[in-house]
């Protein structure tokens, strides 16, 4: 009995999602009469893609390879 109700609820959720997805399609909206034909023919304006956040500043590099492999540094190390 519990499996029946869980399956029923899952089926209703799937049917609801499928119905909402189909109703968002312009051709289905036109067939169902949700929008007038003149409004369905008008294409929506294109979206302007703008970055949501500014570019991250480049982190300052710490050190250089010359600091690690410098001959003067290697020779200045006491034994």
In order, the DSSP letters of 7-64 are HHHHHHHHHHHHHHHHHTSHHHHHHHTSS-HHHHHSPPPPPP---SSPPPPPPPPP--
Q: Please check whether residue 61 lies inside any domain of the structure.
A: no
Please state the domain count of the chain.
1
Domain membership flag for residue 62: no
Q: Residue 26: what pLDDT?
A: 80
- The model's pTM is 0.40
Q: Which domain holds residue 32?
A: 1-41
Q: For the chain, which residues score pLDDT lower than 50?
A: none
Half-sphere exposure of 14 (CA within 13 A, CB side): 6
14 within domain boundaries: yes
């Amino acid at each position: 009995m519990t499996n029946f109700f869980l399956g029923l609820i899952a089926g209703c959720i799937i049917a609801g999602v499928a119905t909402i997805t189909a109703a968002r399609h312009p051709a289905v909206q036109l067939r169902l009469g949700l929008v007038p034909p003149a409004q369905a023919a008008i294409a929506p304006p294109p979206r302007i893609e703008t970055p949501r956040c500014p570019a991250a500043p480049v982190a300052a590099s710490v050190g250089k390879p010359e600091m690690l492999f410098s001959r003067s540094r290697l020779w200045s190390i006491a034994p």
